[in-house]
């Protein structure tokens, strides 16, 4: 059984190295522990049971720990920082819902969020989303 556990450890490590997704590291750890146990006079059924139990325990503990420690936070790009800001229309939004606005001295192509809206030059709009290199806007109404 020693060779089997060595194969399990090596295979799990190779899979882990290739995927880098923490999909088999717990099998490698459990296999390494059972590999050490296989040198004692413990029977194969007990070794398999220990391997399964340790794999599940490591899966639960390591997965939970890594999910909190390695959580990827989404970083807003520079263009995402424009969402919620207001801009001045520099080119009337046409029937297709396309026009231009100026914000921070730069002109951007815009699309209307609501195609029924009429937006004229010098109107103020609010940027609601970014689609590629275009802002999605809606008319800004002062309350």
Same domain, 53 and 84: no
Task: Report the alpha-carbon distance of residue 103 to residue 65 in Å, rounded.
Answer: 43
What is the average pLDDT across 94-115? 85
Domain-embedded: residue 59: yes
The number of folded domains in the chain is 2
Total residues found in the chain within this entry:
143
Burial class (CB in 10 A: 0-12, 13-18, 19+), 32: middle
For residue 74, tell me if it sits in a domain.
no
The verdict on 63 and 101 lying in the same domain is: no
* pLDDT winner (highest mean) among 7-11, 88-92, 104-108: 7-11
Q: Which residues touch 10 (CB under 8 Å, ≥6 apart)?
A: none
- Host domain of residue 45: 2-69
Please tell me the pTM assigned to this model.
0.49
Same structural domain, 60 and 97: no
10 and 50, same structural domain? Answer: yes
What is residue 27's predicted lDDT score, i.e. its pLDDT? 94
> Distance (Å, rounded) from C-alpha 57 to C-alpha 26?
8
């Amino acid at each position: 059984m020693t060779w089997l556990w060595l194969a399990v450890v090596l295979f799990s490590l190779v899979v882990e190295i290739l995927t880098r997704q923490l999909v088999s590291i717990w099998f490698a750890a459990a296999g390494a522990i059972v590999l050490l146990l296989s040198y004692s006079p413990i029977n194969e059924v007990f070794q398999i049971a220990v391997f399964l139990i340790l794999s599940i325990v490591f899966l639960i503990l390591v997965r939970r720990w890594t999910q909190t420690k390695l959580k990827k936070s989404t970083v807003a790009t520079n263009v995402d920082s424009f969402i919620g800001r207001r801009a001045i229309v520099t080119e009337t939004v046409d029937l297709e819902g396309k026009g231009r606005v100026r914000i921070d001295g730069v002109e951007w192509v815009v699309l209307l969020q609501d195609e029924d809206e009429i937006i004229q030059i010098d109107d103020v709009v609010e940027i609601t989303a970014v689609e590629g290199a275009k802002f999605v806007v809606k008319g800004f109404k002062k309350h």
